[in-house]
Amino acid sequence: MNAVNTDIARIVERINRVILGKERQVRLCLACLLARGHLLIEDLPGVGKTTLAHALARSLGLDYQRIQFTSDLLPADILGAAIYDRESGGLRFHPGPIFAQVILADEINRASPKAQSALLEAMEEGQVSIEGETRPLPTPFFVIATQNPSEQVGVFPLPESQIDRFLMRLSLGYPGPAAERELLAGEDRRDLLADLEPALAPSAFAAMQAQARTVTVSDALLDYLQAIIEASRRNASFAGGLSPRGGLALKHAAQAWAYLGGRRFVLPEDVQAILPGVVAHRLHPAPAVGAADDSWAARILLQVPVP
């Protein structure tokens, strides 16, 4: 465990050098990736979403591609296409940017639903089918998507069925005064990113992911998870409860969070720590409740008694 702890500490430390004052969000991002989940970062432009995604990919020692989503982006721009090859005289497949371990899908809600779904299918299946041929994606494979709040103009909000495929949705928020000061006084973040060296060997992260899945989830904790899922389905404030996938997401994320804490078993506190990020994009207020903020669903579910 100690080796893992130092690894994780190193990763966190490296990322924190670039993203100032957001240690908790960084750890949550790591937990999300450790749980083999895709991450959605939603925030205003310019708070460091893209930088965070870059930093994560680089420090984990994974190869990564960035796709800037625009309204005219086509599925082939993501997946790749078979192009006639003059030399061999046949069609040769040119893989798209999706064939990388970390995909940074920037401003995902600017693209048309068609392009969005090309990405989202790949996210769920771990493979892509192009022109009748199924091609596996590399492992680990995950998508860090960023999006602007949907109130902004020129966006296509992700459909609910697709947004469910992201394990967590996080937002960064403005930096604190000290971080802000350092940001203003310090170097350019881009330069720092370029200097960022991988903290892990390429295969190490996959091993960590596998270990995180073995963290013990006791019966008592399953009781707690079930109570939370039950509460989300029964509470009249929600338009719909957590899906089974949402429940599994809670469990995996909590395991990863415990693993990050260097523990071999999951505590209710682990569930509570990851709960806001996991449920915020999955639960919607019932019409009678009206509009609600990001932490609203978590506030309700954190009232569920710990068995």
Partner 1 sequence: MARPERHALWLVVPVALAMLPHALYVPAWVSLAAALALVWRLSPAWLKEGGAQRAARLLLAPAAVLAVLLQFRTLAGPEAGIALLVLAVALKLLESDGRRDHAIAVLAGYFLAVATLIHHQEIAAAAWLLVTTAVLTAALAAGQAAQPPAPAAALRLGAVLVAQALPLAVLLFLLFPRLAAPLGGLVHSETGRSGLSDSMAPGSVSRLILSDAVAMRVDFADPAVDARGLYWRGPVLAEFDGLTWRRGEPRPAPPPATPVGGRLDYTVTLEASGQPWLPVAGLAEDMALPSARLSGDMEWRTRLPDHGRLRYTVTAWRDYRLEPQLSPYRRAQVLALPAGRHPQAHALARQWAEQSASPRAIVERALAHFRQEPFHYTLNPPVLGDDTVDDFLFRSRRGFCEHYAGAFTVLMRAAGVPARVITGYQGGERNPIGGYWIVRDRDAHAWAEVWLEGAGWRRVDPTAAVAPERVELGLDAALPAAERPLLDLPPAWQLRLRQGWDWLDNGWNQWVLGYDQQRQRRLLGALSPRLASLDGMLWATLAGTALILAGLALSILHVRRDRPAGATERLYARFLARLARVGLVKGAAEGPVAFAARAARDRPDLAGPVRAITALYVALRYGDATRPEHLRQALAGFRPGRPPRRAKRGKVIVD
Residues near partner 1 (CB under 8 A) are 216, 218, 220-221, 264-269, 272, 302-306
For residues 228 and 250, give the distance between their C-alpha atoms in angstroms, rounded to a whole number. Answer: 10
The nearer residue to partner 1, 92 or 264, going by C-beta atoms, is 264
The nearer residue to partner 1, 137 or 304, going by C-beta atoms, is 304
Minimum separation from the CB atom of position 174 to partner 1 (A): 27
**Alpha carbon distance, N-terminus to C-terminus of the chain:** 28
The nearer residue to partner 1, 33 or 298, going by C-beta atoms, is 298
- Nearest alpha carbon to residue 198 among 57, 97, 103, 80: 57
Minimum separation from the CB atom of position 264 to partner 1 (A): 7
**18 close to 192: Cβ distance less than 8 angstroms:** yes
The nearer residue to partner 1, 116 or 272, going by C-beta atoms, is 272
Minimum separation from the CB atom of position 261 to partner 1 (A): 10
Minimum separation from the CB atom of position 231 to partner 1 (A): 10
Minimum separation from the CB atom of position 274 to partner 1 (A): 13
The nearer residue to partner 1, 221 or 242, going by C-beta atoms, is 221
Q: Which residues contact 233 (CB under 8 A, 6 or more apart)?
A: 240, 241, 242
Which H helix or E strand runs over 227? helix 219-234
At residue 91, the 3 state secondary structure works out as: strand
Minimum separation from the CB atom of position 218 to partner 1 (A): 5
The nearer residue to partner 1, 44 or 306, going by C-beta atoms, is 306
Minimum separation from the CB atom of position 263 to partner 1 (A): 8
At residue 284, the 3 state secondary structure works out as: coil
Q: How far are the Cα atoms of 105, 167, 233, 271, 290 from residue 98, in angstroms, in the given order?
A: 10, 19, 36, 31, 38
**232 close to 185: Cβ distance less than 8 angstroms:** no
The nearer residue to partner 1, 126 or 261, going by C-beta atoms, is 261
Residue 54 sits at the vertex; the CA angle it makes with 278 and 31, to the nearest 5 degrees, is 30
DSSP state of 39: E
Bridge partner residues of 82 (DSSP): 93
